[in-house]
Structures are given as C-alpha cells and as structure tokens.
Structure 1
C-alpha cells in the first residue's frame, strides 16, 4: 500500500490540533475517516505515531519525525501545483495593510506562496488597526487590506470574506469542563475568564455575550494572544478564541484543549477589502485571485487555520 496525499493531510491536521475529533471538524469529514487514515499510516510504517489519551493525542518520537516528512511532501506537491507560468507573469507593486491578528497568524505563509507564484510583484506590507486600514484604503494609501471583515465600518469599501474561523472554548488540560457531555455559556460564566482585546476581540465577544443574560467573569484583559494562551494553559482561566490563533501548547509547553460550545458563537471572518469603484491593477487582480482560488474554489483542500 502506498501513502496518499489524503492520508498525509489528515495526519498533519491531527498532529496540529492534537484531537482527532477537532481535525475532522476542520477538514469537514467524518471522524472515522481521519481515524482510518492515521491507522493505515501506522500499519504501513509498523510504528505508533500518536499516544492516545482521554482528551486527545500526542505525537510520539516517530510521529514527530514523520510529521517533518509529511510537511516536506505536502509543500513540494503544493509548489508543483502552483508553479508560475512565466509566459503570463504579472509585474507591478502592491501595498497592503493587515491587522495584528491577520498578520501574525494568517498572512506570512500566504505572502510566501504568493511571492513564489508572482515573483515580479513587489509587495509592501503595513500592520495597522482596522480604523487605520479602512481610512488608508479610502485615501488609497493602501491598495488592499486583509482584516477581520466582521468589524468593517466604512461603506465606501468593498469587502470579500474568504473564510470564518470557528471560535471555541479554550481550557487547560484536565479541566473539569472536559468531562461535561456539553458546555454552554452558562458554564463558562462560572469560570474565571481571560478576555483578549487585540483587534477588537473584546467587543466581538461582548456582542454574543450581550445576547444572553450572562456575563463572563473577567479576571484579565490582555492584547497578547500568547499571554491569553499561557493563562489558559496554566489553569488561570478559560477563554473563547478562534481556531486561527489556536495552538495546542503554551510557551511553557503546557497543553491547551478546546471545547465546542452548545451556544451559537459567530466565527471570526477574514477577508480582503478595497475602495469601491477603483480600477484594479494587474497586481491587485493577482492578489485577489490568489485568495479566491485558495479559499473560495470548491476544489480547495484548505485548512481553517493559518497553515493550509
């Protein structure tokens, strides 16, 4: 039996999130399909790639080695599929702006891939808050902006949303809520809460909290995703944050688990913005088409997180 691209994608998804059930959700397939693929790889290699625990899985030493090979193979396939056509090469300059969260947890990988596809387009990137991005697009200081589209206010802008990153409850390993058959905002309201504030995260959170008679018991407000991650991992509180910024480990090496809430929590929408009515340059068209093909193409095998 030969390894397949599908098996490698399923394996890397499980390795990244640490839970087969969550990997299945992100891949939009059944949990049994993911489990079968991982088992087939392990049988082929005659080695265990994961240690199974009650609340997830962890890579074994062999699993970590195999993950590096899987990444290399998938990267090579991706590069081959997206090899630029030198005869139709686009040239030009492009100035874009991105908010903190988008720039830190989503954009760098895509900038690298875009540069491979369009080596003759010079891209200049600015980090800015949403209000400054919107003003810069209207005044044409920026050609395009990558941002959290749910927050956009100015009607002079055209907005194209590429995907919605699910928000889930983050808890420390062995947290008592992991034993509950279901978890609601009422359960969360009883826990010390870590409120992320960067990119208007607090305002977005309070919107869905305000639709209930509940309030989070906020013990810390922070603009640092890593501070929020560490606080949760060390058992100092819980937080509802998006999959895009999720990583299973804190900087101290402590585990973070996620829980799907029964209540409907709006996703964090990410997309592209530009001033209405403008003529697109070839570079702008290429940039927009890259994201449309990657996220809006029905045949895309994207992931819901920063690394496709």
Structure 2
C-alpha cells in the first residue's frame, strides 16, 4: 500500500468540510484534483472512504476508521517538525498529571502521545481518579496539573482553571428509531423512549438536574459504566442515551450506525480544561504540557 501525505491531507480536509467543493476552496486547487486524489487513495486502501449522495458526501464506516489514522499521520508529521523547531533540548524531569475518567478515555491519549514525541525526556505519571480526589491531590501539591472535566469544580477559590473545550449534550439514537427522523428532539419526545444512562460521576453531576426537571428519570431503564455498552445498546435500538459530543462516534464496535440529535431546551454542557493549584510554582514540564494541550485543542 502506498499513498502520499498530500492525499491524506486532502482526505482529512474533505472529511471535515463535508464537500468536495469546500475542500477544493480551502486547499486552493480544483475540485477534480480533490476527486482524483480521493479516488487514488481509495484504490490504495482498498475501500470506499466516502459515500456519495445528492446533498454531498459522507464518510463510510471504513472512512471513519481511516480518518482516525489519517489525523494521526498529520499529527505525527507536525510533531516531527516541532521536535526540530521547538527549544526543547533542555526540557527534562517529571510531570504528575491528574485526569478524570471521561477525559482519560476521549481526550488524553492524543495529547499525551504528542507531548511524549516532542518532549521524550519528560517522564509523565498519569493519575486517574474521581474529580473530588483529583482536586484534593492538586491542592495538596501531589499533582502539578490536571486535565479534567471542569463543569462542577468545587474548590474554585483554590484552583486555577483554563477551559479547553465545551461539549454539548445530544440524544444518541439508532437510525431505526423514530427520533432519527427529527432534526431536533423535544424533551416530551423522550418520554416515550427507554433511556440508557452512563453512570459516570462527571456526566451524572451535569445532566441529572435536567433529567429530573424534565421528569425523565423514570424513563431510565439501564445504567452502565461502559460507554461502549451505551453505544452498542443504542446501535441496536434497545434505547436512546443523552451523552456529550466528546464521546460520540458514528459507529459501534459491531458496525451499527449511531446518530445524534440536539434536544430543545438542553443547554447543559460538559466542559474540559486544565486545572492547577493557585499560587503553585510554575514548572517547565507543566507549562509545556499546557501549551501542547491548548495547541491540540485549537486544531480540533
């Protein structure tokens, strides 16, 4: 298999913009050049990466899988450039980093991989735990920095917070579910559905009040600590789930498709950011990690 870095760039651009014309405009080349580049790439990987329809194009299951690898390729090349341009020759030492569960699964891996590639002499120890305990470790000085959900931070006067992203909640549905036919869902529509709830501390603290206010708690028929279980159950139309976009993937592990719809009146978000103790001495390791995390988020 052989394909070029340029083909990968055009593929990612097309996937993110959703149209050949949009990708061509952004890349400042002709639409035919984008089309031919994608055709050659599909030929090399042996799978159709896009499905074509009247309104444009959409990623296939194989396209979604390849997109993950394509972004990693681009990220790795960028890191290689940074490794030679950044003044990191003297950066070494240790960094103790705290993370909460959802962040560890859906936000940490790419940032940590990028940091380690560019700053290999910095040893990173990751501590995953509940938000309250991570706050305690930060205040006691046992952690230098945390990458965590910041929506419900309790020790606001003792901790500094730098927001990185805001993830809205939407309802996940199977294409077979009646809600998939709606562009927006009302809370009243959910009263006829079986709700699947992710039993995660950060998520429950964010969404429980809204569920109670809309009298939807009684619709919850299953609670699970597994995001993959939520996806699989929604994918087979066993129920629907109100989840943050942070964790959304358009396919289950079994290959069933998922869709997400906004819910009217649901303004709750799950916010992720960097957290450190106020007044704590700045270390090179922590400051560099902050920069890498901010840079990663700005390019998403």
When the two structures are superposed, what TM-score results if normalisation uses the length of structure 1?
0.78
Count of residues paired in the alignment: 282
Q: Which residue of 2 aligns with 1:144?
A: 145
Which residue number corresponds to residue 7 of structure 1? 10
Change (3 A) 1:126 1:68: closer
Counterpart for residue 279 of structure 1:
281
What CA deviation, in whole Å up to 9, does each residue of 1:24-53 have, x standing for no partner? xxxxxx997369889753344447642247
* Structure 2 residue corresponding to 1:267, chosen from 256, 266, 269: 269
- Offset at residue 280 of structure 1 (A): 1.1
Larger mean Cα displacement after TM superposition, 103-112 or 165-174:
165-174
Shift of 1:215: 4.6
Over 3 Å counting, the alpha-carbon distance change for 1:284 and 1:190 in structure 2 is same
Q: Distance in 2 between matches of 1:68 and 1:197?
A: 27
Match for 1:33 among 12, 17, 22?
22
C-alpha distance after superposition, 1:255-289 (max 9, x if no partner): 11111223233221111111111111111111122
- Residue of structure 2 in register with 1:42 after alignment: 35
Corresponding position of 2:178: 176
Q: 142-151 or 179-188: which moved more?
A: 179-188
Instruction: Report 1:1-308 matches (<5 A).
Output: 7-13=10-16, 20=18, 33=22, 41-46=34-39, 49-52=49-52, 57-59=58-60, 67=67, 70-71=70-71, 73-84=73-84, 85=86, 88-155=89-156, 156-212=158-214, 215=217, 217-295=219-297, 300-302=298-300
274-283 or 70-79, larger mean C-alpha shift: 70-79
Q: 1:57 to 1:111 in 2, by over 3 A?
A: same
**How much has 1:124 moved relative to structure 2?**
0.5
**Change beyond 3 A, Cα 1:189–1:133:** same
CA distance 1:122–1:168, change in 2 (3 Å): same
Contact 2:195 2:240 in 1 (8 A): yes
Give ranges in structure 1 of 5+ residues lacking alignment.
15-19, 21-29, 303-308
Q: 1:142 to 1:199 in 2, by over 3 A?
A: same
Cα distance in structure 1, aligned partners of 2:279 and 2:159: 9
Q: Against the structure 1 CA distance between its residues 103 and 65, is the aligned structure 2 distance closer, same or farther, given a 3 Å change threshold?
A: closer
1-structure distance, mates of 2:293, 2:75: 18
Distance between the aligned counterparts of 2:61 and 2:226, measured in 1? 30
Task: Name which of structure 1's ranges 233-242 and 262-271 shifts more when overlaid on structure 2.
Answer: 262-271
Residues 71 and 301 of structure 1, relative CA distance in 2, 3 Å threshold: closer
Checking the alignment, whether the CA contact within 8 Å between 1:101 and 1:199 is kept in structure 2 is: no
Contact 1:168 1:259 in 2 (8 A): yes
Distance change >3 Å, CA 54–CA 175, structure 1 → 2: farther
**Paired residue secondary structure (1:291):** helix
